[in-house]
Amino acid sequence: MTFEPLYSISGLFVGALVGITGVGGGSLMTPLLVLLFGVHPATAVGTDLLYAAITKTAGTAVHGVHGRVNWKVVGSLAAGSVPAALLMLWLLAGVDRKSIGVTNTITSALGWLLVMTAFMLVFRGPILELARRVIGERMPPRPATILALTVILGFCLGVLVTLTSVGAGALGVTILLVLYPRLDVREIVGSDIVHAVPLTLIGGTGYWLIGEIDWPMLFALLVGSIPGIVIGSLLAPKLHERTIRIVLAVTLAVVAWKLLA
């Protein structure tokens, strides 16, 4: 096993961002592996999913201790995301993942999701304000409707995360804030991180079974990311989240342009 310190440095940086914002796992790590280290997209996605499952378990412990998890939201999301992840893995197992078509599909989907993530990071406030005004002009949705929408959101996240390892951060958090406007943003972020654990674990295990995991790279990433996400989760209440989100959004936009160019 060859240990690559640059993977660990990358893991530390990305892990800290995940802990602070709930965003940055797949959004940064997968394109980083593809663009900077030249890893095949399918292997990058599979390795990153296992990486995310382990690092977000550490973040789950921190958020859980501070009571920043809504287990009803977590369960509703998982009811949709777990079947979606299994469906996507079944589809991926039946295709040639090294083919140009599959490679381009994963790369393009990753690039456009990064564009959407960057947009959500910058314009989350106006989007939420517009949603509140629209919802305020009509009857508030019934609990059953909110539950169904949360399950549908979970299904969409299951598809996106299993295909690209991106989607459970900015996209998921923003939509959850629309569905649950009375919940504190830190509780939404904590719940989103907890939900991502079984989702990424299932996805990562599936990629392992179809032979798309780079174990030495995963080990090196974890050496840096586990302390990174713990540090980020502890720092989250003390930092100006909006500034961090804008910097992250600009970074994602540049990465997306590189992937789609």
Burial of 46: CB neighbours in 10 Å, binned 0-12, 13-18, 19+:
buried
Among residues 161, 156, 175, 176, the alpha carbon closest in space to that of 73 is found at 176
Percent of the chain predicted with pLDDT > 70: 88
pLDDT for res 66: 59
**Residue 259 pLDDT greater than 70, yes or no:** yes
pLDDT for res 58: 64
Among residues 31, 51, 50, the alpha carbon closest in space to that of 41 is found at 31
Lowest mean pLDDT among 131-140, 157-166, 209-218: 131-140
Global pTM value: 0.82
Round the average pLDDT of the chain to a whole number and report it: 83
Cα separation, 168 vs 163, in Å, equals 12
Q: Residues 197, 57: contact at Cβ < 8 Å?
A: yes
Three-state secondary structure along the chain?
CCCCHHHHHHHHHHHHHHHHHCCCHHHHHHHHHHHCCCCCHHHHHHHHHHHHHHHHHHHHHHHHHCCCCCHHHHHHHHHHHHHHHHHHHHHHHCCCCCCHHHHHHHHHHHHHHHHHHHHHHHHHHHHHHHHHHHHHCCCCCCHHHHHHHHHHHHHHHHHHHHHHCCCCCHHHHHHHHHHCCCCCHHHHHHHHHHHHHHHHHHHHHHHHHCCCCCHHHHHHHHHHHHHHHHHHHHHHHHCCHHHHHHHHHHHHHHHHHHHHC
**Residue 236 pLDDT greater than 80, yes or no:** no
Lowest mean pLDDT among 26-30, 116-120, 201-205, 222-226: 26-30
Cα separation, 226 vs 106, in Å, equals 27
pLDDT for res 203: 92
Angle among Cα 226, 228, 230 to the nearest 5 degrees reads 75
Angle, helix 185-209 to helix 71-93, in steps of 10 degrees: 30
Percent of the chain predicted with pLDDT > 90: 18
State pLDDT tens for residues 148-194.
Answer: 999 999 999 999 989 988 876 777 888 888 888 888 877 887 788 78
Q: Residues 105, 40: contact at Cβ < 8 Å?
A: no
pLDDT for res 142: 83
**Residue 206 pLDDT greater than 90, yes or no:** yes
The amino acid occupying position 65 is V
pLDDT for res 155: 96
Which residues are CB-neighbours of 31 under 8 A, at least 6 positions away?
Answer: 110, 114, 255, 256, 258, 259
State pLDDT tens for residues 78-119.
Answer: 999 999 999 999 999 988 888 888 888 889 988 998 888 888
